[in-house]
């Protein structure tokens, strides 16, 4: 079973999934570049980005097919949202807060990362959160390491009624009902800045492409699991022969990882 979409004769850019993206900031513009790059390279049909002008310019320089919107522009129709990567809640202005809350309250599936995690309790639709260890600690109200990440992820999944992707080695994917899986990547070269932004983009593409199934049973957790697996497979390709990698190297290997998975 795969959630990767292969277009048919009747498909167009919208039927292949429309992903709304509210990521990046003046301080961390690269998160939007990486997440958008990953979504396109996973096979999404349409990406719409809401971001400051500097972020838009950097994204368009890399991925000119992206449709960009001002922060105060109406959100319109999307199949899923990717929110919060490269943002800091302490620096969030009213326009960004309003846009994040609108997306979370829309009922569309949401992938929530980093600077939007503090708002996730207001979500109205199927939701996945992707905290790293420090962010998971903050959600749990913990101050000291070590702690049981798997148990913590299970607790937060139940509290928030959301799928939790607790990033790390291993990565734990936990559904609200308690179903859980732990996944080891093919390489620890993933321990570099921006790889989490790439994972969020991969997951956004899978969910937007299969949004009609995202609320059904454990489908959203299954999508999250496949995103983590695909992310790890692309990392293994990028780090072949022990090469150091950057997050962009990882994103550039996604088409090969997608093709390999579809050929099995």
Domains of the chain by residue range: 18-262
86 is in an annotated binding site: yes
185 is in an annotated binding site: no
169 is in an annotated binding site: yes
End-to-end CA distance of the chain: 10
42 is in an annotated binding site: no
Per-residue pLDDT, 217? 67
167 is in an annotated binding site: yes
Beta bridge partners of 19: 47, 80
Per-residue pLDDT, 216? 74
| Local confidence pLDDT in tens for the 264 residues of the chain | 899 999 999 999 999 999 999 999 999 999 999 999 999 999 999 999 999 999 999 999 999 999 999 998 876 789 999 999 999 999 999 999 999 999 999 999 999 999 999 999 989 999 999 999 999 999 999 988 889 999 999 999 999 999 999 999 999 999 999 999 999 999 999 999 999 999 999 999 999 999 888 877 689 999 999 999 999 999 999 999 999 999 999 999 999 999 999 998
225 is in an annotated binding site: no
Interhelix angle 254-262/219-238, nearest 10 degrees = 120
Pick the CATH number of 18-262 from 3.30.360.10, 3.90.1200.10, 3.40.1190.20, 3.20.10.10: 3.40.1190.20
Distances (CA, A) of 116 to 36, 52, 92, 96: 17, 16, 10, 10
Per-residue pLDDT, 163? 97
Q: What does the H/E/C string look like for the chain?
A: CCCCCCCCCCCCCCCCCEEEEECCCCCCCHHHHHHHHHHHHHCCCEEEEECCHHHHHHHHHHCCCCEEECCCCCCCCCCEEEECCCCCHHHCCHHHHHHHHHHHCCCCCEEECHHHHHHHHHCCCCEEECCCHHHHHHHHCCCCCCCCHHHHHHHHHHHHCCEEEECCCCEEEECCCCCEEEECCCCHHHCCCCHHHHHHHHHHHHHHHCHHHCCCCCHHHHHHHHHHHHHHHHHHHHCHHHCCCCHHHHHHCHHHHHHHHHCC
Per-residue pLDDT, 164? 98
13 is in an annotated binding site: no
């Amino acid at each position: 079973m795969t959630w990767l979409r292969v277009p048919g004769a009747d498909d167009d850019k919208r039927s292949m999934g429309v992903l709304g993206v509210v990521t990046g900031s003046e301080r961390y513009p690269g998160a939007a570049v990486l997440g958008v790059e990953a979504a396109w390279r996973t096979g999404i049909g349409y990406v719409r980005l809401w971001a400051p002008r500097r972020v838009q310019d950097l994204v368009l320089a890399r991925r000119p097919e992206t449709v960009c919107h001002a922060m105060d522009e109406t959100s319109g129709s999307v199949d899923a949202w990717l929110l919060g990567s490269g943002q800091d809640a302490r620096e969030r202005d009213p326009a960004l807060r309003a846009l994040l809350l609108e997306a979370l309250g829309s009922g569309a599936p949401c992938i929530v990362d980093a600077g939007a995690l503090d708002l996730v309790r207001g979500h109205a639709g199927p939701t996945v959160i992707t905290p790293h260890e420090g962010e998971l600690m903050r959600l749990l109200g913990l101050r000291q390491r070590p702690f049981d990440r798997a148990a913590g992820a299970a607790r937060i999944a139940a509290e928030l009624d959301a799928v939790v992707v607790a990033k790390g080695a291993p990565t734990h994917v936990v559904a609200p009902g308690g179903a859980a899986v732990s996944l080891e990547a093919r390489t620890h070269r993933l321990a570099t800045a921006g790889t989490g932004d790439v994972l969020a983009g991969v997951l956004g593409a899978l969910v937007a492409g299969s949004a009609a199934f995202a609320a059904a049973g454990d489908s959203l957790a299954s999508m999250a699991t496949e995103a983590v697996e695909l992310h790890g497979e692309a990392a293994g390709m990028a780090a072949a022969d022990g090469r150091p990698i950057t997050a962009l190297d990882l994103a550039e290997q996604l088409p090969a990882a997608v093709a390999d998975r579809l050929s099995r």
